Amino acid sequence: MTNIFLQLLINGIIAGAIYALVASGFSLIYSTNKFIHFAHGGVIALSAYVLFWLSALIGLNFYLAVFLTIIFSAFLGYLLNKFFYKPFRAKKASPSILLVSSIALLILLESIALLLFGADIKTLDLIKTNRGIEIFGAIITPLQIVIVLVSVFLFLGLYFLMKKTKIGKAMRAVADNKDVAEILGISAEKIYNWSFVIGSVIAGVAAILISLEQNIEPTMGTNLMIKGFTGAIIGGVGSVPGAILGAFLLGLVENFGIWFLPSGYKDAIAFVLLFAFLLWRPEGILGIKNNHKC
């Protein structure tokens, strides 16, 4: 007997976990750097392809491939900040310009993936049979349990990082007020780099898990960014816990939504939510009202 409610709940949590992974890294970068790093999706897409290349094409041991992929993600994030965003910042570019250039960067990264690997869908056939376990009438696979556990673990780690470590506090300081933070001796540039590295590491983890659970295709970055971004907006884009909350909410609403609507509308639900929140509550659920001037 399938318990539909529980199944949808579980699906919602799994989807939410994936979106939250995307949203948390992105939100960390946004709150520190104060602009929308759309190319985050490109980091995810390229990391997924790197994993595919290392694991399926070269045939490296899977865990080694995972390790190297995460290093790649971190490095790519760092490079993007240093060689792409930093010059723009030096020119005192406004957030709008950074947004547009970030979107262009996303397209650039995804096109590179398309060029190098082709448009067909790739899969990591590492888990031969992924039979689900039945709990109270709903089915969940071991991989999905891993996804949820890994994300929760990461979020707790992120929380610990932000609240207790020196780097975390420095990041929050720069997020709050960059000028004052610099007066206090914090190098904003170094913090920017760290935010990109950490955010991109989370992106790498997201890429790995998504590649295992679903598949790899060149536009996966854009799709995930839209969902992650929507989650971040819903929960409050300047706040990392908010982004995580919003992402989980999005996952749940999406999955419960298709109880009533045809399943093709799943993505539309996300877009409508994004639109609605931008309209009525742009600061999100946990966000603080922010005057977008200055």
Binding site for other proteins (CB under 8 A): 36, 87-88, 91, 93-97, 99-101, 103-105, 107-108, 110-112, 114-115, 118-119, 222, 226, 262, 264-265, 267-268, 271-272, 274-275, 278-279, 282, 292
- 216, with CB counted inside 10 A (0-12, 13-18, 19+), is buried
Quick one: which H or E segment has residue 34? Answer: none
Question: Smallest Cα–Cα separation from 243: which of 159, 174, 149, 160?
Answer: 159
Shortest CB 223 distance to other proteins, Å: 11
Nearer to other proteins, 32 or 230 (CB): 230
Q: Are strands 133-135 and 138-140 parallel, antiparallel or unpaired?
A: antiparallel
Strand partners, 134: 139
Shortest CB 111 distance to other proteins, Å: 4
CB burial of 35-47 (b: ≥16 within 10 Å; e: otherwise) equals bbbbbbbbbbbbb
Shortest CB 219 distance to other proteins, Å: 8
Phi/psi of residue 190, each to 5°?
Answer: -65, -40
Question: How far is it, in rounded angstroms, from Cα 41 to Cα 43?
Answer: 5
Question: How far is it, in rounded angstroms, from Cα 164 to Cα 240?
Answer: 15
Nearer to other proteins, 132 or 282 (CB): 282
Nearer to other proteins, 26 or 194 (CB): 26
Shortest CB 99 distance to other proteins, Å: 7
- Kindly give, in sequence order, each residue whose CB lies less than 8 Å from that of residue 17, ignoring residues fewer than 6 positions away: 147, 148, 151, 152, 248, 251
Nearer to other proteins, 94 or 130 (CB): 94
Nearer to other proteins, 64 or 261 (CB): 261
Shortest CB 240 distance to other proteins, Å: 19
E runs forming strands in the chain = 133-135, 138-140
Nearer to other proteins, 148 or 235 (CB): 235
Nearer to other proteins, 5 or 275 (CB): 275
Shortest CB 136 distance to other proteins, Å: 32
Shortest CB 28 distance to other proteins, Å: 19
Question: How far is it, in rounded angstroms, from Cα 278 to Cα 282?
Answer: 4
